[in-house]
Amino acid sequence: MAMIITATDFGFEGPYLGQMKAVLLREAPGVPVLDLIADLPAFEVRAAAHLLAAAIHDLPQDAVVLGVVDPGVGTERGACVVQADGRWFVGPDNGLFDVLAARADRLAWWNLDWRPERLSNSFHGRDLFAPVAARIARGEPVPGTPVDPAGRLDPAAGADWPAVVYADRFGNLMTGLRAAFVPREAVVRAGGVELHYARTFGAVPVGAAFWYENALGLVELAVHRGSARARLGLAVGDPVEVLPEQASR
């Protein structure tokens, strides 16, 4: 059985996530629904795209991911369904799925043509994307037009982004850099501070700032028992720089 997984910037406050999940449960009864993340960076599509691409690797191969970061809701922006390495993604065609799509080995893309009778100008997550995600989870065909991904994607969409893409509740700052491509001897400069690599928090003194490879495989900026966000004064979208160790001396 497929699983539907939500990834949104809705937060848990208010009725939005609950209303969307109610539609999923109504349209695909018996299909499990899991909230992967409800605090993708609000309105920040590029940052959310990099975070989502890093967060999907442990999801079931046939998972249906309902992703919504949609500052252009109600405008002429399109809607899409993407199948990347077996997983399905349903949401706005605004770049949210471009990073994961560009990195996929197997890719298919549909423009989402279907529209429900009831379509709010401001809540396509509930009215459009949730019913489509439920259909796919039930094994039904995509209600859209297939398009050639090669003509749809920017060839550079899968490149790493040297910027902050997420700040967690502890003040740790995830970046759009995959740690596998950053040498351990490299220095990360952020907020005017040069950070050296450490394997984990306990490897540095309390209060020390450092970078490490987080559980999603991204370069993350942290302070042992402190807040990198407060120390460095950075927010989502702010740049970071990777430089060789000798360049910092």
175-202 per-position pLDDT tens digit: 999 999 999 999 999 999 999 999 999 9
Contact indicator for 46, 74 with CB cutoff of 8 Å: no
Q: Which two tokens stand for residue 158?
A: 């899968």
- Which pLDDT tens digit goes with each residue over 202-218? 999 999 999 999 999 99
Q: What is the pLDDT of residue 155?
A: 84
User: What's the rounded Cα separation, in Å, for the pair 49 and 45?
Assistant: 6
161-248 CATH fold:
Elongation Factor Tu (Ef-tu); domain 3 (2.40.30)
Residue ranges per structural domain of the chain: 4-152, 161-248
Long-range CB contacts for residues 204-209, cutoff 8 Å, separation at least 24? none
Q: 4-152 domain in CATH 3.40.50.10790?
A: yes
Calpha distance 66→81 (Å, rounded)? 10
Strand order in the sheet with 33-37: 33-37, 4-8, 64-68, 87-93, 78-84, 107-112, 144-147
d(CA 112, CA 43): 21
Q: Residue 1: what pLDDT? A: 65
**The pLDDT value given to residue 248:** 46
Q: How far apart are CA 69 and CA 6, in angstroms?
A: 11
With a cut of 50, which residues of the chain have pLDDT below it?
247-249
Please say whether the dihedral angle defined by the alpha carbons of residues 42, 44, 47 and 49, taken in this order, is positive or negative.
positive
Query: Under a CB-based contact definition with an 8 Å cutoff, are residues 28 and 137 in contact?
Result: yes
Which two tokens mark 81? 């369904």
